[in-house]
Amino acid sequence: MQITFNLLLQNIAYYLTKFFTTRKIPSIFQKTIINITIKLLKINKTEIKEPLSHFKTINTLFTRKLKESCRPIDNSDLSIMSPVDGLIQEFGNITNNTLIQAKDIRYKLDDLVTKNYADTFKNGSFITFYLSPKDCHLIFAPCNGQIKSSCIIPGKLFPVKQSWVSSFPNLYIENERVITLLETFYGTIAIIKVGALNVGNITTTYDKSITTNIKQKKPINKHYSMYYPMKKGSHLASFNLGSTVILLFQEKSIEWSNLKQYKSINYGQKIGTFLTQNTPS
């Protein structure tokens, strides 16, 4: 009964949020509402690329573009950039098919991704980013590559705030996910977008048919006959509000930069370096 009630509340919250954030703001109130939202969320207004008159809905503010000068891309050949603005939550090696969600909380790789993807990353590494409502909600390619496949895994929409991450086991594998497989000269990278409360709308730039908050229970695997090239720093996907992004890397493929847990990071900043070069499959 409690689970059913929680799901009901999630759906109500999702639809109410979607209604208010995607509804066009009456022009007479547009400037006031956008400025109030910026102030409440503590958004850095100086970084926004478009004039504030551009934002006709709250959601267009969440998915705003930022000035290139504010987010320089680390373009060195072997570097991996952060795909998002956000907070570094956890990073490290995938050991015994296990990742870290928070201190004393672990979860299984096989549960995070489908079995055929898990084999690729079973001896690899991971990094988790949390995007708060104040962050830019665009997700970018962490390096050059091409997209050959993706997967939609239906699930719930529990909150992913730190209080939930540190107390709710298996949070990421309970929530819905959209997984993008980026094939690179340094191995495969999984870019996992995790849905959350009020974030039942994840979109991708490479496949407009991807739909989230779906009712079916089985994962939907999508394989593309024509691969989608992605340049480092290219816009790959978007969130409504904020949520979590997890990157998975193959075995011994990277060395982390000087990262610190719970430190804020901007997209474009270097998070690691590739160690070896492989041939994409």
Residues 280/181, Cβ–Cβ less than 8 Å: no
**What's the total number of domains in the chain?**
2
**Is 107 a member of any domain?**
yes
Question: Which among 252, 20, 234 has a CA at the least distance from the CA of 140?
Answer: 234
Out of 62, 93, 112, pick the residue that ends a domain.
62
Centre a 10 Å sphere on the Cβ of residue 175 and count the other Cβ atoms it contains. Answer: 24
The pLDDT of residue 20 is above 80: no
Instruction: Measure the CA–CA gap between 90 and 127, rounded to whole angstroms.
Output: 6
Predicted local distance difference test score (pLDDT) of residue 110: 94
Q: pLDDT for 244-277, tens place per residue?
A: 999 999 977 789 998 999 999 999 999 999 987 6
**Is 280 a member of any domain?**
no
Q: pLDDT for 205-234, tens place per residue?
A: 999 998 777 677 788 999 998 899 999 999
| Same structural domain, 126 and 144 | yes
| Same structural domain, 136 and 208 | yes
Altogether, the residues listed in the chain come to a count of 281
Q: pLDDT for 161-185, tens place per residue?
A: 888 898 889 999 999 999 999 999 8
| Same structural domain, 112 and 210 | yes
Residues 147/86, Cβ–Cβ less than 8 Å: no
**Model confidence band, residue 11 (pLDDT cutoffs 50, 70, 90):** low
Predicted local distance difference test score (pLDDT) of residue 18: 55
**Is 109 a member of any domain?**
yes
Predicted local distance difference test score (pLDDT) of residue 241: 65
**Is 21 a member of any domain?**
yes
| Same structural domain, 243 and 270 | yes
| Same structural domain, 160 and 98 | yes
Out of 62, 89, 112, pick the residue that ends a domain.
62
**Is 279 a member of any domain?**
no
> Residue 226: which H helix or E strand, with range?
strand 220-230
Question: Which among 124, 97, 123 has a CA at the least distance from the CA of 112?
Answer: 97
Predicted local distance difference test score (pLDDT) of residue 5: 47
> Span 35-58, mean pLDDT?
89
The pLDDT of residue 71 is above 70: yes
Residues 152/203, Cβ–Cβ less than 8 Å: no
| Same structural domain, 198 and 168 | yes
| Same structural domain, 30 and 103 | no
The pLDDT of residue 278 is above 70: no
Question: Which among 224, 243, 262 has a CA at the least distance from the CA of 178?
Answer: 243
The pLDDT of residue 17 is above 60: no
Q: What percent of the chain has pLDDT over 90?
A: 53
Predicted local distance difference test score (pLDDT) of residue 6: 54
| Same structural domain, 20 and 130 | no
Q: Which residue segment(s) compose the domain that 43 sits in?
A: 2-62
Residue written as tokens 């708060």?
132
**Is 281 a member of any domain?**
no
| Same structural domain, 25 and 142 | no
pTM for this one?
0.89
Q: Coil, strand or helix: which one is 251?
A: coil
